[in-house]
Amino acid sequence: MDYDVVIGLEVHIQLLTDTKIFCGCLTKFGDAPNTNVCPVCLGMPGVLPVLNEKVVDFGIKLGLATNSTISERNIFARKNYFYPDLPKGYQITQYDYPLCKKGFLEIDVDGGSKRIGITRIHMEEDAGKLIHDEKEDYSYVDFNRSGVPLLEIVSEPDMSSTKEAVAYLKELRQIVMYLGICDGNMEQGSFRCDANISVKPKGSSTYGIRTELKNMNSFRNVQNALEYEISRHVELIEQGKQVEQETRLWDAGLGVTRTMRTKEESHDYRYFPEPDLIPLIVDSVWIERVKKTLPELPREKRHRFAKDYGIPMYDAEVLTQQRDVADYFEACLKFIDAPKDVSNWIMTEVLRVLKEESIDITKFNVTPEMLANMIALIKKGVISGKIAKGVFEEMHRTGKAAYIIVEEKGLLQITDEGVLREKAKAILDSHPKEVKSYKDGKVQLLGFFVGQLMKETRGKANPKLANKVIKGLLEE
């Protein structure tokens, strides 16, 4: 039998505000445990939350970027449950009145596009972190993360394959990074994803029973977990068994999902309006102010790059992956009108160096102008593409302009036919055997002679000219 897959995703993103959502503590990651804490984020008696409005700005940003309706009247709510990393015994979140509603994202899959609905986006606070030491029979709690602002983005169950789910996540992650509201780090948990998934016979109008998946901290894990879960559901259905509604954990090591809690064990969170915070009113002035700070979004940029610069969609995708890289690309084009050449250099050399040395492109030694000027030297035939690679490394190492490096190192391409002919003659003279073989029909030896000439000129010979000269001499 064929099946339809129904997937909805809940994503939590940690916001890049300087301070926490309800107190003035820093949100810095990686500091010594319990150093970025105060009575408010420790839930001490008598203290009160005060909303950091930057969090609202960030929420509005994401709402606008996902075509959502921004709610005028916002009410915070308490979600009550006990856990040692939750200092107040409740989490301040939004329940009936989220900040954003009824949005959508366009994703590009299999050459087409699909619209994925976003049910809601709301603001909430993160909890602390438990640290277990296997040698001890107790655990530690680090509250540095307690009160770090989060946005929760809940999608409609609009995804019908793992591919679409991953595409949605990638799109969303790219957007939040473009907006500068989240660093998108999945391993460190600043971009976390839970999935709701169900399977039904193809075309059936009633949904299957869904399970919720947690603990997938990479795109690969999401993909594998969803695929595993789909086949688990299908298998159960084919065996005539029932899928249990439950929450399951993905075990990346074993490649399986396991029951975390059943429906009976699920919490009653006893939501009610947070009496310590007054309703938050977001008026049109506030929304307009945030709107002005919105950058071009990744998908828009991607399609514009492909269309306006005539580069392949693949190139556009790679270049727009990060906003700074896209900006770098466009900055280069101010100095040279050669989109495909610039794209090639960025996709191969620039991104490789950045990755190898984990540098940020905004702090890269080779400025867009320098890269453009170097490409211009290639296009004018001053240096060869091969030489250029060395020049590029040198620019990165020293910060010197390409033409200076070329001059200092004497890397100018040899385009004087006479000079090349002299050198070529000498090479042919010293390889009589090979010349004979060539003349006897082994024409593939041409490459050998050109190679010798390149070696002799330390790569500076204009490759086209070198070919022509050698061929000419051999055929004389």
Partner 1 sequence: MLEIARRFRRDGLNPVEHVRHILKEAHDDKLNVFISIDDEGALASAEKAEQRIRNGDEGTLLGIPIAVKDNICTKGIRTTCASNILSNFVPPYDAHVVERLKQRGCVIIGKTNMDEFAMGSTTATSNIGPSRNPWNIDKTPGGSSGGSAAAVAAGLCAGALGSDTGGSIRQPASFCGVTGLKPTYGSVSRFGLVAFASSLDQIGPIARTAMDVAVLYDAIKGYDPKDSTSVNKDYKVTSLDELDLKGLKIGIPPMFFGEGLNHEVEKAVREGISIFKELGAEVVEVKLPHIKYGVAVYYIVATAEASSNLARYDGVRYGWREENSRDLVDMYASTRSRGFNDEVKRRIMLGTYALSAGYYDQYYEKASRVRTLIIEDFKEAFKACDIIAGPTTPTPPFGIYDMLDDPLSLYLLDIYTVPANLAGLPALSIPCGFTTSGLPIGMQLMAPAFGEDLLLGAGITFQAHTSFHEERP
**Footprint of partner 1 on this chain (CB under 8 A)?**
39, 42-51, 78, 80, 82, 84, 87-90, 141, 268, 270-272, 275-278
b/e 461-472 (16+ beta carbons within 10 angstroms → b): bbeebbbebbee
Q: How far is the CB of 87 from partner 1 (least distance, A)?
A: 6
Residue type, 214: K
Nearer to partner 1 by Cβ, of 84 and 399: the residue is 84
Query: CB of residue 50 vs partner 1: minimum separation in angstroms?
Result: 6
| Nearest residue (CB) to partner 1, 55 versus 222 | 55
Beta carbons of 148 and 27 less than 8 angstroms apart: yes
What single string gives the DSSP state of each residue in 253-300?
Answer: TTTEEEEEEEGGG------EE-TTSPPEE--HHHHHHHHTTPPPPHHH
**Residue at 34: amino acid letter:** N
Between 92 and 453, name the residue whose CB sits nearer to partner 1.
92
Comparing CB distances to partner 1, the nearer of 48 and 294 is 48
The alpha carbon torsion through 283, 287, 289, 290 (nearest 10 deg) reads 140
Query: Residue 66 and residue 58: Cα distance in Å, rounded?
Result: 12
Residue 411 backbone phi and psi in degrees, to 5: -100, 10
**Is the distance from CB of 318 to CB of 347 less than 8 angstroms?**
yes
Residue 130 CB, nearest approach to partner 1 (Å): 10
Which burial class, exposed, middle or buried, applies to 349 when counting CB atoms under 10 A from its CB (0-12, 13-18, 19+)? middle
Identity of the residue, 264 or 268, whose beta carbon is nearer to partner 1 in the bound complex: 268
Residue 446 DSSP one-character state: H
Supply the minimum distance, in Å, between the C-beta of residue 28 and partner 1: 21
- Shortest reach from residue 60's CB to partner 1, in Å: 19
CA quadruple 92, 96, 99, 103: dihedral, nearest 10: 130
Question: In whole angstroms, what is the distance from residue 94 CA to residue 152 CA?
Answer: 10
Compare residues 49 and 149 and give the one whose CB is closer to partner 1.
49
CB nearer partner 1, residue 273 or residue 381: 273
Smallest distance, partner 1 to C-beta of residue 98, A: 18
For partner 1, the closer of residues 278 and 443 by Cβ is: 278
Nearest to 405 by CA among 388, 420, 419, 422: 388
Residue 40, SS3 per DSSP? coil
**Which CA distances in Å does 79 have to 22, 86, 194, 271?**
16, 11, 18, 5
Tell the smallest beta-carbon distance from residue 366 to partner 1 (Å): 48
Query: In terms of CB distance, is 46 or 111 closer to partner 1?
Result: 46
Amino acid at 286: W
Q: Least Å distance between CB 367 and partner 1?
A: 45
Provide φ and ψ at 456, rounded to 5°: -60, -40
Nearer to partner 1, 279 or 451 (CB): 279
Minimum distance of partner 1 from residue 274's CB (angstroms): 8
- Total count of residues recorded for the chain: 476
In angstroms, give the least distance from the CB of 276 to partner 1: 5
The residue (of 45 and 111) whose beta carbon lies closer to partner 1 is: 45
- H or E segment at 116? strand 112-125
Q: Rounded to the nearest 5°, which phi and psi values hold at 151?
A: -115, 135
| Residues in CB range of 337: below 8 A, 6 or more apart | none
Q: Supply the minimum distance, in Å, between the C-beta of residue 141 and partner 1.
A: 7
What is the spatial distance between Cα 434 and Cα 431, in angstroms, rounded to a whole number? 6
- The residue with tokens 């590029």 is 392
